[in-house]
């Protein structure tokens, strides 16, 4: 099942539609940003000659030269820390953390500086940095290559956290993130890098921070982002076979949360579940469940469910299938609700 996104109205000059992967869409977004704005710089581990281990920066060094796109020494705190200095000097650095567990050495720079510089200086120093982080699992990666670290970033005031689930959004959200004057943690779902969609790039970019209803329904709302959007759509399809009309929302931006779109859906359906790969305890789903309940308590006929990875470290490849939230797990959750259909 492929995600159908209506791109017809978003296309400015109607370039030819073609099947592009998310990796390619991201690559195109970087290319177009580099071409339009001289202050955009790309550096990090292996993003130059190699084009990144996921090939997202492929060809950019060749096209823009090694003063716009280059390989840095291997040190994540160094990458974020120098990006901060460049941003203070008028640049818009776009940096890659090779895998999300490898953003952790940069944690202090991200949390204590990237997130706080604007506030510290009463808005006088903006840090328009985009931190690209390939995240989540389902790629058969060895330890530390499949973390879902979004909760660390979403619980940090000052950061904007974005994650696309399909190529068109990947393009639009990355362009918007780079153009944003706020620092953005841009999380790329690794398992979706090679997902193809027929789309005419460039798509027009829209306002940031909006969730998107991908499928309408009336019985329950499934909330998902990044890698689990596909799971949600598949589950809605399977639910339909059981007579359930399930609405699916792709959150797209995790921080801030688009209450308007999501609460409207939840008030309509009265039941919702959030699906993510990360462990449940203290995961992003906790915020989603808590705030939806705060805002829609009397409209709910069941608690907001969290369908997530287990509260264990991300497992080795052979155990991934048991860890990751599956369509079956979603359907079990749907069934657990007390249906009075």
Partner 1 sequence: MTIDVPTTGRSLPQLQPISFIDADGRLTDTPTAGLRIPGDRTLTGLYRQMVFVRRFEAQVTHLTRQGRLATYPSAAGQEAAEVGATTALAPGDWLFPTYRDSAALLTRGVPVGEILAAFRGDWHCGFDPNEYHTSPAATPLATQTLHATGFAMAAKLKGADAATLTFLGDGASSEGDAHEAFNFASVWQTPTVFVLQNNQYAISTPLREQTNATMLADRAAGYGMPGLRVDGNDVAAVFAAVTAALERGRNGDGPTLIECLTYRMESHTNSDDPTKYREAEEVEHWRQFDPIDRLEKYLRSTGAVDDAGIEEIAAAAEALAESVRDAMNREAEIDPLELFAHVYAQPRTDLAEQQQVLEAELAAAGRA
Ligand X SMILES: Cc1ncc(C[n+]2csc(CCOP(=O)(O)OP(=O)(O)O)c2C)c(N)n1
Does 291 participate in binding a copy of itself (rule CB under 8 A)?
A: yes
Which of 32, 182, 234, 237 touches partner 1 (CB under 8 A)? 182
Does 98 participate in binding ligand X (rule CB under 6 A)?
A: yes
Closer residue to partner 1 in complex, CB, 36/332: 332
Query: What distance lies between CA 173 and its chain's CA centroid?
Result: 9
Does 332 participate in binding partner 1 (rule CB under 8 A)?
A: yes
State the binding string over 292-311 for a copy of itself (x if CB under 8 A, else -): -xx--x----xxxxx----x
Does 83 participate in binding partner 1 (rule CB under 8 A)?
A: yes
303 binds, options ligand X, a copy of itself, partner 1, none, Cβ within 5 to 8 A by partner type: a copy of itself
Question: Maximum Cα–Cα distance for the chain, whole Å?
Answer: 63
What H or E segment, with its residue span, contains residue 154? helix 150-154
Dihedral sign for Cα atoms in the order 69, 70, 71, 73: negative
Does 204 participate in binding partner 1 (rule CB under 8 A)?
A: no
Which of 10, 32, 205, 209 touches partner 1 (CB under 8 A)? 209
Note every long-range contact of 47-56, with CB atoms under 8 Å and residues 24 or more positions apart, other chains counting.
Answer: 47/71, 47/96, 52/96, 52/98, 53/98, 54/23, 54/134, 54/188, 54/190, 54/193, 55/23, 55/27, 56/23, 56/26, 56/27, 56/30, 56/96, 56/132, 56/188, 56/193
Closer residue to ligand X in complex, CB, 43/225: 43
Does 105 participate in binding ligand X (rule CB under 6 A)?
A: yes
Which of 19, 35, 62, 74 touches ligand X (CB under 6 A)? 74
Which of 37, 194, 319, 335 touches partner 1 (CB under 8 A)? 319
CB 272 → a copy of itself: shortest distance, Å?
12
Does 27 participate in binding partner 1 (rule CB under 8 A)?
A: no
285 binds, options ligand X, a copy of itself, partner 1, none, Cβ within 5 to 8 A by partner type: a copy of itself
- To the query of whether residue 276 is one of the catalytic residues in this protein, the response is no
Q: How far apart are CA 339 and CA 166, in angstroms?
A: 32
Token pair, residue 88, equals 């203070």
Does 45 participate in binding ligand X (rule CB under 6 A)?
A: yes
162 binds, options a copy of itself, partner 1, ligand X, none, Cβ within 5 to 8 A by partner type: none
Q: CA torsion 253→254→258→261, rounded to 10°?
A: 80
CB 109 → ligand X: shortest distance, Å?
11
Which of 55, 58, 81, 107 touches a copy of itself (CB under 8 A)? 107
| Alpha helices per DSSP H over 242-281 | 259-269
Which of 2, 18, 120, 206 touches partner 1 (CB under 8 A)? 120
What H or E segment, with its residue span, contains residue 83? helix 76-88
Q: How far apart are CA 52 and CA 241, in angstroms?
A: 42
Token pair, residue 254, equals 């995790």
Dihedral sign for Cα atoms in the order 72, 76, 82, 83: positive
Token pair, residue 302, equals 């069941």
Which of 27, 33, 98, 154 touches a copy of itself (CB under 8 A)? 154
Select from 237, 301, 242, 240 the least CA-distant residue to 266: 301
**Site of interaction with a copy of itself (CB under 8 A):** 77, 101, 104-105, 107-108, 111-112, 115-116, 119-120, 143-144, 151-152, 154-158, 255, 257, 278-279, 281-287, 289-291, 293-294, 297, 302-306, 311-313
Q: Which residues are catalytic?
A: 145
């Amino acid at each position: 099942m492929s995600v159908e996104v209506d791109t017809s109205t978003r296309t400015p000059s109607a370039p030819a539609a073609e099947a592009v992967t998310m990796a390619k869409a991201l690559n195109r977004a970087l290319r177009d940003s580099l071409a339009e704005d001289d202050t955009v710089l790309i550096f990090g581990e292996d993003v130059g000659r190699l084009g990144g281990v996921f090939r997202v920066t492929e060809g950019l060094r060749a096209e823009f030269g090694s003063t716009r796109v280059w390989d840095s020494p291997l040190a994540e705190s160094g990458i974020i820390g120098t990006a901060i200095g460049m941003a203070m000097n008028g640049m818009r650095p776009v940096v890659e953390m090779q895998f999300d567990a490898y953003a952790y050495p940069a944690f202090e720079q991200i949390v204590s500086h990237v997130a706080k510089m604007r506030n510290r200086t009463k808005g006088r120093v903006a840090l328009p940095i985009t931190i690209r982080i390939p995240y989540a699992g389902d790629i058969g990666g060895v330890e530390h290559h499949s973390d879902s670290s979004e909760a660390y970033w979403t619980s940090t005031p000052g950061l904007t956290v974005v994650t696309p689930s399909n190529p068109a959004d990947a393009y639009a959200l990355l362009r918007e993130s780079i153009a944003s004057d706020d620092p953005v943690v841009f999380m790329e779902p690794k398992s979706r890098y090679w997902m193809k969609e027929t789309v005419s790039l460039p798509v027009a970019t829209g306002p940031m921070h909006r969730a998107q209803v991908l499928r309408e329904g009336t019985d329950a709302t499934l909330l998902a982002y990044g890698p689990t959007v596909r799971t949600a759509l598949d589950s809605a399809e399977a639910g339909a076979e059981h007579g359930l009309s399930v609405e699916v929302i792709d959150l797209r931006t995790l921080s801030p949360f688009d209450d308007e779109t999501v609460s409207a859906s939840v008030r309509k359906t009265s039941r919702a579940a959030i699906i993510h790969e990360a462990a449940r305890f203290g995961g992003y789903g906790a915020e989603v469940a808590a705030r939806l309940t705060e805002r829609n308590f009397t409209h709910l006929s069941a608690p907001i469910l969290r369908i997530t990875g287990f509260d264990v470290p991300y497992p080795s490849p052979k155990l991934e299938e048991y860890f990751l939230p599956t369509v079956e797990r979603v359907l079990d959750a749907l069934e657990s609700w007390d249906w009075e259909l």
